Amino acid sequence: MSSLPYILIVDDNATNILYLEIILRNIQANLIKALSGAEALELTKDVDLSLAILDVQMPHMNGYELAVRLNENRAENKVPIIFLTANFPENARILEGYRAGAVDYIIKPVNELILTSKIKVFLELYWQKRRVVENTEKLRESEAALQVAKKQLEQMNEYLIKAIEEERTTISLQVHDELGQAMTALKMDLSWVRHNLDKGEATMEKINRMMTMTNDVIRKVQRISSELHPGLLDDLGLKAAIEWYCKEFTDRTDIPCTLDLEEGDELTPQVNLALFRIFQEAMTNIIRHANASTVTIQLRCYPDIELNIIDDGIGMTPDVIDSGKSFGLIGMRQRIQRCGGSLNLSGTPGQGSIVQACISKPTMP
């Protein structure tokens, strides 16, 4: 806490003001000094006072009147007041002082130990109040951040549900359009063979066609399975899986891929999977949004792990990178964070984008 509390000192005698300054020399506070009530009101117009030390007997505006004026516009944050007086006041005067905001009276000449002890009590109250205010503000900020996180979680859940349904639809279409048609044709050929076993050469030709079709179906099943979870990733590692995916990517899109990949023998299955899914998402975004003509993939495994996916497309804008609304990017960040790593995104309009996933080996799961 850097902001010191403010203490107001008012006395029409400059010598008394100087004496109070000397007494308070070791008190950690900002002192506001005034020789009259009017000057005190002017100096403290926009100041949050922690304490006021007022002389009772002053011309034009005495200490009681000043106390009332100080607190009349401070309904929620009244200033505690210590009155200094040469003579112990009568009961009526004491009551008037307490109504005006007094918390104590001190008889002149002022005892330094008594005055500083009382001041320290009020300053401690001031610091406690500051701590409460700051903790309340932190609580508000935490609550706001929690609401944002909750909203993002709800949106992410909706996105995942939609993504799962889209994936199911894609698999269903692939099975129907590719496997279904092939199996239907195979069934028809089997029916023909059953009714034409006596036609030797024609039967053999049909069987050969069926074998070719069966092999084609097997390849399609393997491709669909590999797109869901490439067996290469488990068997041969990340480098081989990226090479396979890039060949399929280029065959589908006619976008060439330049590969600069290192072998990562030390990579764990969890890290392999996280990096491959980040790579997949980045490549999908290139197809959907980048309008790129080439893609470069770099994999560094020493001294730490670094995967770069670089395209020469339209380039991600800062708004897209920082928006927090791209669930693909959110998913990529969450995957890399679970591996103790970080995701860095950058883009230059008209020149392309870079997706960089980094994992320090000491933090690798």
Q: Are 102 and 82 in contact (CB under 8 A)?
A: yes
More confident residue, 196 or 310: 310
pLDDT at 83: 85
How many percent of the chain have pLDDT more than 70?
Answer: 80
Rounded to 5, what percent of the chain is helix, strand, coil? 60, 15, 25
How confident is the model over 91-130, as pLDDT tens digits? Answer: 656 666 666 666 777 888 888 888 888 888 888 888 888 8
Average of per-residue pLDDT across 228-233? 66
Average pLDDT, the chain: 81
Q: Facing residues of 354 across strands?
A: 310, 346
- Radius of gyration in angstroms for the set of CA atoms belonging to the chain, rounded to a whole number: 40
Strand spans (E) along 87-239: 102-107
> In this model, does residue 19 exceed pLDDT 70?
yes
Average of per-residue pLDDT across 47-61? 87
Q: Is the dihedral of CA 213, 215, 217, 220 positive or negative?
A: negative
Q: Are 47 and 34 in contact (CB under 8 A)?
A: no
pLDDT at 283: 93
Q: Categorize the per-residue pLDDT at 1 as very low, low, confident or very high, splitting at 50, 70 and 90.
A: very low
Look at 119-133, 143-157, 190-204, 339-353 and tell me which has the smallest mean pLDDT.
190-204
Q: At what angle do helices 112-174 and 14-23 cross, to 10 degrees?
A: 60
Residue type, 15: T
More confident residue, 59 or 298: 298
Q: Categorize the per-residue pLDDT at 291 as very low, low, confident or very high, splitting at 50, 70 and 90.
A: very high
Only one residue has tokens 């092939």, namely 182
> In this model, does residue 264 exceed pLDDT 80?
no
Q: Categorize the per-residue pLDDT at 292 as very low, low, confident or very high, splitting at 50, 70 and 90.
A: very high
Residue 285 CB contacts under 8 Å (≥ 6 apart), including other chains: 328
Average of per-residue pLDDT across 180-196? 70
Give the global pTM: 0.46
More confident residue, 240 or 193: 240
Q: Is the dihedral of CA 171, 283, 365, 259 positive or negative?
A: positive
How confident is the model over 329-355, as pLDDT tens digits? Answer: 888 888 888 888 999 999 999 999 999
Only one residue has tokens 């010598």, namely 15
Phi first, then psi: give them for residue 286, nearest 5 degrees.
-60, -45
pLDDT at 139: 86
How many percent of the chain have pLDDT more than 90?
Answer: 21
- Residue 139 CB neighbours (<10 A): 10
Residue 308 CB contacts under 8 Å (≥ 6 apart), including other chains: 296, 297, 298, 299, 354, 355, 356
Length of the chain counted residue by residue: 365
More confident residue, 351 or 201: 351
Q: Are 315 and 331 in contact (CB under 8 A)?
A: no
Cα–Cα distance for residue pair 223/52, rounded to 1 Å: 82
Alpha helices in 24-111 (DSSP H): 37-43, 63-71, 91-99
Cα–Cα distance for residue pair 182/185, rounded to 1 Å: 5
Cα–Cα distance for residue pair 122/27, rounded to 1 Å: 12
Q: Categorize the per-residue pLDDT at 144 as very low, low, confident or very high, splitting at 50, 70 and 90.
A: confident
More confident residue, 104 or 141: 141
> In this model, does residue 2 exceed pLDDT 50?
no
> In this model, does residue 4 exceed pLDDT 80?
yes
> In this model, does residue 60 exceed pLDDT 80?
yes
Cα–Cα distance for residue pair 305/364, rounded to 1 Å: 9
